[in-house]
Structure 1
Amino acid sequence: MTEGNSAEDRLKREQEIALYLEQHPEFFENHQDLLDKLRLQHKVYGSVSLVERQILGLRNKAEKLQTQLNTLIDNAHSNGDLLNKCAELFVAMISSHSTQEMIDRLLEHLRDNFELDNVQLWLFDDSGTLHHVNYSDIQMIRQLTDQHFIQNDPICGRVTESISQLFGGDHELESYSIIPLGENSRVGIIALGSKDVDLFTADMGTLFLRLIGDVTEACLDKQES
């Protein structure tokens, strides 16, 4: 009982001291000698003074901030490159004089400028006769790929045996993206495949993929009208 009370008393005193120091931040300015005697344990440097501990803490924060800044800069450069590639693609598509020319430019730019290993365009048109286009319907694509949630949002991930059928059974592909064309994929899909397992991941941002899908749909509608 005595030990319990002692521990409780010690905890109470520590709380009172902490509260006092919080309310009187100038305390150590008036007791510099005490500040110099304070030692704190550091997991790397062992026993250090309070000032040294603060400097080490600030240094760690600075290193973390620098790492975050470098990541932001790298992302900005990467996004800038993607934006430029998308702009070149869209100009080529919009300036096309026919649907066939637009599709050829779309596939060519995606393969070459975006360095993709396999690009397939699937359109849901029973009477379609365009070259370099696969024709089917959304239900068949869902059954073919086991992807039952192809609607409005691009899908990214690892290539499976069923997904590889979108790419003519290309078993060298490691990652893929499916870009829906139109609401609920009413027009079709673009399938992008890469041998790089990390190019398309389930948690990646899909802003540029959405943009490619929207522009492709608009160009297809324009050519049909």
Structure 2
Amino acid sequence: MRYLDELSTDEALEQERQIAAYLIAHPDFLAHHPEVLTAIDVPHGIQGAVSLIEYQVRVLRRQLAIERNRLTHLIARAREYEALSARLHRLILQLMVVDDPEHLCRLLRETLLREFRAEALAFKLFALADIERVPHDPLVNAFADFIDRRNALCGPLSPERAARLFGAESIGLIHSAAILPLNADRQSGIIAIGSADATRFSPDMGTDFLNRLSELISQKLHVIHFTGCSQSSSA
């Protein structure tokens, strides 16, 4: 079937006459197919005047467009959440068989950098005894506000904070981060995931997945003593 813009002038006129004849023969067509009204333009003979029906149709079109956009957004979020859940499940299966700190560090680095499309990853872990014994230690104080949090934190990073998290080489390169608190029997700290994209981790993004990840890694720290993973790494 060819469209009107693909027909000759005579063919187009003939097809228009056929359409008009069909509508005249079936005056209740639009009543049976109201969706057609949302897709066609009905011109009005008086300049600046709009019939009530035409106004209602315009309102319905706007509402339909809003609902379609909302549905598209919900579908995209659902697919993203499903993909995140699948990746979290794979990580859980991998963590179940990890039994030493080196393997755990390597697994987390490779997985988190890949899954979050990030450029840098930092582990900052402290023995609880050291935090209590040296409360004014500059390194501990720099992360005290993160360590005391119960939920993940996302947002842009200042150059100073980026340097503290990922090292001086990250200044000008890392602009946003997700920070996960870690808590175990003898240790407390954070995992920071850094991105060169300033909008990659924003304050208003959902943190449910990150919070689950934080709990999962913290639980693993109950059985594996993290000692050699405090340095940062970049992709």
TM-score bracket for this pair, using the shorter chain length: 0.5 to 0.7
Q: Which residue of 1 is the match for residue 56 of structure 2?
A: 54
Q: Deviations over 1:109-148 (max 9, x none)?
A: 11123221101111112899xxxxxxx9896456436947
Structure 2: unaligned runs, 5 residues or longer: 1-46, 226-235
Q: Which residue of 2 is the match for residue 153 of structure 1?
A: 151
Work out whether residues 124 and 187 of structure 1, in 8 Å CA contact, stay in contact via their aligned partners in 2: yes
Let me know the Cα RMSD of the aligned residues: 2.9
Q: 1:114 aligns with which of 105, 116, 127?
A: 116
Q: What is the SS of the residue equivalent to 1:122?
A: strand
Q: What is the SS of the residue equivalent to 1:178?
A: strand
Work out whether residues 128 and 187 of structure 2, in 8 Å CA contact, stay in contact via their aligned partners in 1: no
**Cα distance, 1:98–1:186 mapped onto 2, change above 3 Å:** closer
**Cα distance, 1:88–1:71 mapped onto 2, change above 3 Å:** same
Q: Which amino acid aligns with 1:166?
A: L
Work out whether residues 176 and 193 of structure 1, in 8 Å CA contact, stay in contact via their aligned partners in 2: yes
How many residues align structurally?
Answer: 172
Q: Kindly state the Cα deviation for residue 197 of structure 1 after the two structures are TM-superposed.
A: 1.3
Q: Which residue of 1 is the match for residue 191 of structure 2?
A: 190
For residues 137 and 118 of structure 1, the distance between their equivalents in structure 2, rounded to whole angstroms, comes to 28
Q: Which amino acid aligns with 1:205?
A: G
**Cα distance, 1:126–1:149 mapped onto 2, change above 3 Å:** closer
Q: Kindly state the Cα deviation for residue 166 of structure 1 after the two structures are TM-superposed.
A: 0.7
The 5 A counterparts of 1:1-225 are 46-125=48-127, 140-141=138-139, 143-144=141-142, 147=145, 150-164=148-162, 165-169=164-168, 170-171=170-171, 172-182=173-183, 187-224=188-225
Work out whether residues 99 and 220 of structure 1, in 8 Å CA contact, stay in contact via their aligned partners in 2: no
Q: Give the TM-score normalised by structure 2.
A: 0.65
Q: Give the TM-score normalised by structure 1.
A: 0.67
For residues 195 and 210 of structure 2, the distance between their equivalents in structure 1, rounded to whole angstroms, comes to 15
**Cα distance, 1:138–1:115 mapped onto 2, change above 3 Å:** farther
Work out whether residues 181 and 190 of structure 2, in 8 Å CA contact, stay in contact via their aligned partners in 1: yes
Higher relative contact order (CA 8 A, sep 6+): 2
Work out whether residues 118 and 194 of structure 1, in 8 Å CA contact, stay in contact via their aligned partners in 2: yes
For residues 96 and 186 of structure 1, the distance between their equivalents in structure 2, rounded to whole angstroms, comes to 18
Per mean C-alpha deviation after superposition, the further-off stretch among 140-149 and 65-74 is: 140-149
Work out whether residues 110 and 116 of structure 1, in 8 Å CA contact, stay in contact via their aligned partners in 2: yes
Q: Kindly state the Cα deviation for residue 149 of structure 1 after the two structures are TM-superposed.
A: 7.8
Q: Deviations over 1:22-67 (max 9, x none)?
A: xxxxxxxxxxxxxxxxxxxxxxx94211111111111111110000
For residues 135 and 150 of structure 2, the distance between their equivalents in structure 1, rounded to whole angstroms, comes to 15
Structure 1: unaligned runs, 5 residues or longer: 1-44, 129-135
